[in-house]
Amino acid sequence: MSKDIKTVKLYVCPSCFAREIDKFLSYDEEAEEYYCRRCCYVGKVEDIEEFYAAYKKAKYKDMAKPYPSEKY
Ligand SMILES: [Zn+2]
């Protein structure tokens, strides 16, 4: 008998990540949500992806302006 094995992507908890702690989220298949065993973070894949997309964007923005802005 073959069983469908869904590959579950691993994510680091955004809430812990903000505190510089790398803690992987556990996945609740029934709720289809990720949750953190360390803090109370619960989120869907979209939430987590969104967090990291925003984080990368913010970081990129900083990198895009290495020099102080012009003085007025
Ligand atoms: Zn956490």
Q: Could you tell me the strand order of the sheet in which 33-35 lies?
A: 26-28, 33-35, 42-43
What pLDDT is attached to residue 7?
Answer: 73
Percent of the chain with pLDDT over 90: 60
- Residue 1 tokens, joined: 């008998």
CB burial readout 11-50, b (16+ within 10 A) else e:
bebbbbbeeeeebebebeeeeebbebeeeebebeeeebee
Surrounding residues of ion ligand 1, Cβ less than 5 A: 13, 15-16, 36, 38-39, 41
Average pLDDT, the chain: 85
Lowest-pLDDT range of 14-18, 35-39, 59-63: 59-63
Gyration radius (Cα) of the chain, Å: 17
Q: Give 37 Cα–ligand 1 centroid separation in angstroms.
A: 7
- Residue 20 tokens, joined: 């510089």
Amino acid at 51: F
pLDDT at 3 over 80: no
Percent of the chain with pLDDT over 70: 78
